[in-house]
Chains A and B, each alone.
Chain A
């Protein structure tokens, strides 16, 4: 039952942007965007061969600028969106664009890592998300479960809903909303809820978390002072429609029930610096991953507020029928909320953590110095959840 050692991959550049290839459900594949002011930036497509514990990479050039945020289409493996900095001598502008990667890279190629650098390929630009009137792009979100036609971008204090037309060659702004008022109104991050027929998103600005209805583009809830300081990231529980996790500069991770926002349902205080990222596991929502600028990644088990607080109790007969279905498995005894593991492989601030879209027991974390670490959920816990 020895747990596999983490697999570490080093990028030459500093990096903040990490995403799983959302549309891919078989291979474990992550995309990393680099940040360099002086060199051409790259997107590394990292393929992880689970059986042989080997990483294969392909590098795509992203020449327009350093990448601050990256996201992939849930429908088309080859389509992705980036937010990047366009710098001139006196001005920095963060723009967003939708790209298509070369066909042969969509499903990964198994070239040896050595000669991959020689044949760097370039992304094909599909369309720009025109933000000249709206300000700097903070992030781009794809409609989850959608057909890859709808995206939302956050630009300064605007929420912009785009329709991608003509096989994503054209982005049409279908509706937008702006946050008005006093104080710091710039959005820092947002998530699109997979529930309610994908009609809700949540955004964070300063210490506030807001929920929006994408049909009316109206605010539906607002958690003032969700965190003592800046809110850095959000995530929706994939199995419980009203549950939302947030994290921020007060070193805390908070779990909210959006129907009752006066108090968080639960608060985690494990990190010793700002928490930059929080992610629910896509299948087992008790598994929470957080990354922080204290250079640590923490995997927590929040059983008490998960969709399976006491595990499924499945009869033996039923079990034999459904043995292969992970979701229907039972947990023998309720676990306590606890920190499962603290991963200390990073030596710089961790700005991104992501679960793999293909393997629910695997996740990647990226620190500023360009180190990508792929880890697995400890086996003991995995079997505990499954059996």
Chain B
């Protein structure tokens, strides 16, 4: 049976496969099942298919033709064998079924025969029973006819008694009312409510009216008493609610009652507010002349009390109001809003008292509690939500501001320490803390403080704090308050403060910042530009993730640029200050000396040694904080000796013509040609952030001063020679500090040329003598 593989194109979708009960030769019991009860679904599925061996439309001829034409021999043989097997199996099934059913049929025949005998016997007994039943019903009818009259009378009597009992109760109503009105007004009310309808119905009967009037009077009195009670001060909210509820049941006017209720509630809430206010110091209209004493209890305590007392009561009252007077809250809302506003105001005053940087976690917890407690109230009073959120946000902002100020104070304190460390006299032989140490300490402590502050501020956005989920705290607070208001503002302020040391009133009397401090700050600003700012900003963005739609933030590069500008300004100023110090020394030394009457030079003047010493000291100082920097690759260390030889052989040659009194034009020509080939040197120009550049700046300022001063003097022969010696000495020791020794060389050449010009008797010293003097020291 079954077509299986061969049925491909002709099969309709429903008929294919063995999934439904429709058959397929793999399930041989299918036809039997269908015989006993084919389901409608199966019936519907059976489409006419002459090749379906199990189908009702099976046509052996078609099937045979199909199989013969489509299948290969091997498959045909296999099919034949399978069909044979199947037929044999079906035969044996059929035999088994036949046998089983035969047995059942025989036993059924036996049962039917037995039943026929029993029914005949039962028929006779049923007839007897019918006769007996007829006799019983006749006698029962007789008995009930005899008892009917009595029964009716009994029922009447029972009705009368019930009525009388009700009347009795009614009569007793006033008494009961009177008894309960004093002690259990609620019970009296229940009693009155029960009686009221009946009394009202029968009020046309005089006796009932009397009862009604009396109970009315009692209830009126009760209402009066309740009203009096309502005005009592000591009523707690629950009693108040009960009281008003009873009055409502007494059908007092709801309008009036709600007013009473609110005013009573108002008094109570006022009292609580007053209790809170009592904890605050009196508002000081004269300003902050005297600092108010620290509040008695901490803020958490205050908020706790406020929320449990005031907010709790308000909630309770508001919800009672709703149950009592329905959903119409037209009166309740303004009332609650006014009170809530006052509460907020009080809380704000209390927050304002948190002057210092008390425990932030305490503040956060207090605000959290406030916010949580208020949420219950806000469900009743949606209008207050904004105000409350605003209050919390304001408190948070205020705290952030305070942290900013604290940071600033801290930084100034650190700076003060640094200044002190720099100014402290050091015992000889014992080195104080070096500049790098000071810088590291300063940077680390400021960064540490900033981190600590961020950690504190982060409490505001902690997960377990309820208000942190407010949109303000998620977005604006992170960006505007913390990132911009705290971090960016601090960095900006730091740069400004640092700059202040350079721009500030340094020259008009105020104590100028020590140069080392300028250098230190320059390095600090530079470090900020290089790494610290991006680190801080990353840290901030991590801890306070900004939102995409949030307000625009100051980009890191802008801050870095500010820091760099500050660093540049400081370093320039440092160069100017140090340069001016050296220059001043040189100027005084040139101005005060008698250059005409001086004796033949035997030594380098002390001031030059001092200059070299100072510049060496500056070199050390700058070297502590700044990198070496690039020197123009002209001379390596090994060429140092060679250089001095080089200069000694060449330099005199270069300014030889200016010594000889030749035609005046020659000098000009020479110096002009010389200038044509040298770049213009800007003396006070911005420097780069490295040691060499800084030193070059200072040396330029010093030497240019020397040049200008020499030009203002008139020199004798020995004066000129002294300048020569000094110049050579400076060259010997200064070239190594400058980025381009040609700058030193050029300036010193000009000094020498000018000195020769200003000399009455320009006879230069032998160069070997000059070298000898310089080497001698």
A273 and B707 CA atoms in complex are apart in Å by 12
- The 8 A CB mask of B696-707 against A (1 = contact, 0 = none) is 000000001000
Of the stretches B451-459, B544-552, B682-690, the one at the interface is B682-690
Does B661 sit at the interface, judged by CB under 8 A?
yes
A87 near B683: Cβ-Cβ < 8 Å: no
Chain A CB count within 10 A is highest, among B584, B711, B759, for: B711
Give the nearest-CB partner of B596 in chain A: A90
Q: Is the interface of A mostly helix, strand, loop or mixed?
A: loop
A272 near B682: Cβ-Cβ < 8 Å: yes
Chain A min CB distance to B382 (Å) = 55
Give the nearest-CB partner of A85 in chain B: B714
A370 and B711 CA atoms in complex are apart in Å by 14
B668 near A12: Cβ-Cβ < 8 Å: yes
B683 near A294: Cβ-Cβ < 8 Å: yes
Cβ–Cβ < 8 Å partners of A225 in chain B: 507-509
Does A113 sit at the interface, judged by CB under 8 A?
no
Q: Of residues 662 to 711 in B, which have CB atoms within 8 Å of A's CB atoms?
A: 664-665, 668, 671-672, 675, 680, 682-685, 704, 708, 711
* A250 touching B507 in the complex, CB below 8 Å, given contacts A37-B759, A229-B580, A272-B685: yes
* A369 touching B664 in the complex, CB below 8 Å, given contacts A92-B714, A225-B507: no
Chain B min CB distance to A275 (Å) = 11
B675 near A37: Cβ-Cβ < 8 Å: no
A302 and B758 CA atoms in complex are apart in Å by 38
Chain B min CB distance to A186 (Å) = 9
Does A19 sit at the interface, judged by CB under 8 A?
no
A85 and B708 CA atoms in complex are apart in Å by 18
Chain A min CB distance to B410 (Å) = 31
Q: Of residues 710 to 724 in B, which have CB atoms within 8 Å of A's CB atoms?
A: 711, 714, 716
Of B584, B587, B683, B757, the contact of A14 (CB 8 Å cutoff)? B757
B596 near A91: Cβ-Cβ < 8 Å: yes
Give the nearest-CB partner of B674 in chain A: A347
Of A90, A273, A369, the contact of B684 (CB 8 Å cutoff)? A273
A90 near B714: Cβ-Cβ < 8 Å: no
Q: Of residues 247 to 272 in A, which have CB atoms within 8 Å of B's CB atoms?
A: 250-251, 263, 271-272
Cβ–Cβ < 8 Å partners of A343 in chain B: none
A369 near B668: Cβ-Cβ < 8 Å: yes
A274 and B683 CA atoms in complex are apart in Å by 9
Does B760 sit at the interface, judged by CB under 8 A?
yes
A5 and B714 CA atoms in complex are apart in Å by 36
Of B509, B668, B704, B759, the contact of A370 (CB 8 Å cutoff)? B668
Does B597 sit at the interface, judged by CB under 8 A?
yes
A12 near B664: Cβ-Cβ < 8 Å: yes
* A12 touching B684 in the complex, CB below 8 Å, given contacts A225-B508, A347-B672, A369-B671: no
Of A36, A87, A91, the contact of B664 (CB 8 Å cutoff)? A36
A273 near B759: Cβ-Cβ < 8 Å: no
B507 near A368: Cβ-Cβ < 8 Å: no
In this complex, the interface size class of chain A, counting residues with CB under 8 Å from chain B, is 35 or more
A87 and B715 CA atoms in complex are apart in Å by 10
Cβ–Cβ < 8 Å partners of B680 in chain A: 295, 344
Of A12, A87, A228, A369, the contact of B714 (CB 8 Å cutoff)? A87
Does A242 sit at the interface, judged by CB under 8 A?
no
B704 near A293: Cβ-Cβ < 8 Å: yes
A10 and B665 CA atoms in complex are apart in Å by 10
Cβ–Cβ < 8 Å partners of A36 in chain B: 664
Chain A min CB distance to B543 (Å) = 42
Give the nearest-CB partner of B595 in chain A: A92
* A251 touching B507 in the complex, CB below 8 Å, given contacts A12-B665, A37-B759, A92-B714: no
B758 near A228: Cβ-Cβ < 8 Å: no
Give the nearest-CB partner of A207 in chain B: B507
Chain A min CB distance to B11 (Å) = 96
- The 8 A CB mask of B750-763 against A (1 = contact, 0 = none) is 00000001111000
Cβ–Cβ < 8 Å partners of A90 in chain B: 596-597, 716
Chain A min CB distance to B504 (Å) = 12
A139 and B675 CA atoms in complex are apart in Å by 31
Cβ–Cβ < 8 Å partners of B671 in chain A: 348, 369
A349 and B675 CA atoms in complex are apart in Å by 12
Does A115 sit at the interface, judged by CB under 8 A?
no
Cβ–Cβ < 8 Å partners of A229 in chain B: 580, 583-584
A369 and B685 CA atoms in complex are apart in Å by 24
Cβ–Cβ < 8 Å partners of B507 in chain A: 225, 227-228, 250
A13 near B664: Cβ-Cβ < 8 Å: yes
A347 near B509: Cβ-Cβ < 8 Å: no
Q: Of residues 313 to 356 in B, which have CB atoms within 8 Å of A's CB atoms?
A: none
Give the nearest-CB partner of A262 in chain B: B508
Does A310 sit at the interface, judged by CB under 8 A?
no
A370 and B668 CA atoms in complex are apart in Å by 9
A250 and B684 CA atoms in complex are apart in Å by 10
A230 and B705 CA atoms in complex are apart in Å by 12
B683 near A273: Cβ-Cβ < 8 Å: yes
Q: Of residues 75 to 124 in A, which have CB atoms within 8 Å of B's CB atoms?
A: 85, 87, 89-92
Cβ–Cβ < 8 Å partners of A196 in chain B: none
Does A215 sit at the interface, judged by CB under 8 A?
no
Cβ–Cβ < 8 Å partners of B714 in chain A: 37, 85, 87, 92
A293 and B709 CA atoms in complex are apart in Å by 12
* A92 touching B596 in the complex, CB below 8 Å, given contacts A14-B757, A37-B759: yes
A207 and B506 CA atoms in complex are apart in Å by 14
Does A9 sit at the interface, judged by CB under 8 A?
no
A274 and B671 CA atoms in complex are apart in Å by 21
A273 and B705 CA atoms in complex are apart in Å by 9
Chain B CB count within 10 A is highest, among A229, A271, A273, for: A273
Cβ–Cβ < 8 Å partners of A272 in chain B: 682-685
Chain A min CB distance to B720 (Å) = 11
Does A38 sit at the interface, judged by CB under 8 A?
yes
B708 near A293: Cβ-Cβ < 8 Å: yes
Chain A CB count within 10 A is highest, among B583, B672, B675, B684, for: B684
Cβ–Cβ < 8 Å partners of A87 in chain B: 596, 714, 760
A349 near B682: Cβ-Cβ < 8 Å: no
B596 near A228: Cβ-Cβ < 8 Å: no
A263 and B671 CA atoms in complex are apart in Å by 42
Cβ–Cβ < 8 Å partners of B508 in chain A: 225, 263
A251 near B704: Cβ-Cβ < 8 Å: no
B596 near A89: Cβ-Cβ < 8 Å: yes
Give the nearest-CB partner of A68 in chain B: B712
Chain B min CB distance to A352 (Å) = 14
A39 and B704 CA atoms in complex are apart in Å by 27
A271 and B716 CA atoms in complex are apart in Å by 33
Give the nearest-CB partner of A292 in chain B: B683
Cβ–Cβ < 8 Å partners of B685 in chain A: 272
A349 and B509 CA atoms in complex are apart in Å by 30
Cβ–Cβ < 8 Å partners of B760 in chain A: 37-38, 87, 89
Give the nearest-CB partner of B760 in chain A: A37
Cβ–Cβ < 8 Å partners of B759 in chain A: 37
- The 8 A CB mask of A327-359 against B (1 = contact, 0 = none) is 000000000000000001001110000000000
B664 near A273: Cβ-Cβ < 8 Å: no
A142 and B680 CA atoms in complex are apart in Å by 37
Cβ–Cβ < 8 Å partners of B757 in chain A: 14, 37
Cβ–Cβ < 8 Å partners of B675 in chain A: 347-348
Beyond A37-B714, A369-B672, 8 extra complex contacts between A and B, CB < 8 Å: A14-B757, A36-B664, A37-B760, A87-B596, A227-B507, A228-B507, A229-B583, A272-B682
22 A-B pairs with CB atoms under 8 Å apart are: A10-B668, A37-B759, A87-B596, A87-B760, A89-B596, A89-B760, A91-B596, A224-B509, A227-B507, A228-B506, A229-B583, A230-B587, A250-B507, A263-B508, A272-B682, A272-B685, A293-B683, A293-B704, A293-B708, A294-B682, A347-B675, A368-B711
4 nearest A-B pairs in the assembled complex, by CB-CB distance: A228-B507, A273-B683, A272-B682, A272-B684
Residue ranges of A at the interface with B (Cβ–Cβ < 8 Å): 10, 12-14, 36-39, 85, 87, 89-92, 224-225, 227-230, 250-251, 263, 271-274, 293-295, 344, 347-349, 368-370
Residue ranges of B at the interface with A (Cβ–Cβ < 8 Å): 506-509, 580, 583-584, 587, 596-597, 661, 664-665, 668, 671-672, 675, 680, 682-685, 704, 708, 711, 714, 716, 757-760
